[in-house]
Copies of this chain bind each other. A is one copy, B any other.
Amino acid sequence: MTLADTSPTDTASTDSEIDLTRAPLPERAITIYVCVTCRGGRPLDLVPVPGAVLATATVLAAEGTGIAVRPVRCLANCNRGLSAAVRRDGAWTYVFGNLDPSGGAGALIEGARLFANAPDGLMPWRGRPEALKRGLVARTPPFDFTGDS
């Protein structure tokens, strides 16, 4: 858990009783970037590439959710397994590592939906899938972020 994850507003946002499976997602509000070159320590000649497997699984898991899934060739997180970043428009981008090629997809979508519905624009810690707690690597600010006071 990080400092940001303990903020009162962050916790509060997870206490709501919104049905996340039904709440409307603003179109294109969330984009998941999955690294399609990550091998997670597997052999270089392994086909399909584990990162590409995760990307495909995430595309399938995202169907009907309104969440965009995009391939990316490197998130520079190469020593921490399979990687993905989750961005909400106008909010922070979260980077995760050590994702499972199959189970990681469901975790990414679940985390993305939580994030999409968080009133404070932060991905809630409470309710976040375990893979996205253990695998949290870093977050980067919105493009117009001017710093904390």
B3 touches A145 (CB 8 A): no
From A13-21, A66-74, A104-112, the one touching the partner chain is A66-74
B33 touches A87 (CB 8 A): no
User: In the complex, what residues of B have CB within 8 A of residue A97's CB?
Assistant: 138
Q: Which A residues, 90 to 105, have Cβ-Cβ distances below 8 Å to chain B?
A: 93-95, 97
User: A46: CB under 8 A from chain B?
Assistant: no
- Selected contact of A137 from candidates B137, B142, B143, B145, CB within 8 Å: B137
Q: A75-B138, A76-B94 are in contact. Are A70 and B147 (CB under 8 A)?
A: yes
A78 touches B2 (CB 8 A): yes
Q: A138-B138, A147-B33 are in contact. Are A3 and B71 (CB under 8 A)?
A: no
CA distance A73 to B95 in the complex (A): 17
B141 touches A138 (CB 8 A): no
User: In the complex, what residues of B have CB within 8 A of residue A73's CB?
Assistant: 3-4, 148
